[in-house]
Amino acid sequence: MILPITLYGNPILRKEVEEVETGSANQELKQLVEDMFDTMYHANGVGLAAPQVNKSLALFVIDTEAFLDEGDTEKAVKKAFVNPEITETSENRCSFSEGCLSVPGINEEVLRPEGVRISYQDVEGNSFDEEYHGKAARVIQHEYDHLYGKMFVDRLSPLKKTLLKSKLNEIVNGKKVPSYRIKPNK
Ligand code: NI
């Protein structure tokens, strides 16, 4: 099922999330993950965090396939990350143009660590501890930020933020509406 996506200005995007109860008994979680993938694909996204579907839960899904270019050597990562924790980040940083389904119409270069180490669970409650690099690490960090009420525009320079102010206000005030299903701010 395609869920409505919350937009910049919705307070849920600024709230810190709650831990998710994993395990095979949690059918609701399985359904939510499935719905989040459907919602992400419908909106042509490569990642989606639970607060973006109005759920204050420590969960995000990614599929980097559409983000990869022909020459890229990295493999696509399609996965749900439940109760994730980034435990290490690489010293070297790189810049990528980022966008966000909750911030339609804005794309900006963001500097972030090139690699991350992340521990997380799957929906069944199995634990993992893995390293990701390149575009997968990029998407993971962007989605992980959502779980702490942070958005990519917060990471821009004060000047950039000032320049984007009116565009962001348009989203807050419901004057910028994307083609996918949204939960209106007003
Ligand atoms: Ni986002």
Q: What's 28's domain CATH number?
A: 3.90.45.10
pLDDT recorded at residue 57: 97
| Ordered per-residue pLDDT tens for the chain, 186 residues | 999 999 999 999 999 999 998 877 789 999 999 999 999 999 999 999 999 999 999 999 999 999 999 899 999 999 999 999 999 999 999 999 999 999 999 999 999 999 999 999 999 999 999 999 999 999 999 999 999 999 999 999 999 999 999 999 999 999 999 999 999 997
Give ion ligand 1 contacts, CB < 5 A. 100
Split into its structural domains, the chain has a count of 1
pLDDT recorded at residue 23: 79
Query: Residue 183 corresponds to which tokens in the numbers above?
Result: 């939960």
Active site annotation includes 114: no
pLDDT recorded at residue 148: 98
pLDDT recorded at residue 151: 98
- The predicted model scores a pTM of 0.97
Expressed as residue numbers, the domain containing 27 is 5-183
Query: Residue 144 corresponds to which tokens in the numbers above?
Result: 């992980």
Which position among 28, 108, 143, 170 bears the catalytic label? Answer: 143
* Cα(103) to centroid(ligand 1), Å: 7
**Order of all β-strands in the sheet with 127-133:** 47-49, 59-63, 78-89, 115-121, 127-133
pLDDT recorded at residue 173: 96
pLDDT recorded at residue 22: 87
* Cα(146) to centroid(ligand 1), Å: 7
pLDDT recorded at residue 38: 98
pLDDT recorded at residue 180: 97
The count of other CB atoms within 10 Å of the CB of residue 180 is 16
pLDDT recorded at residue 186: 77
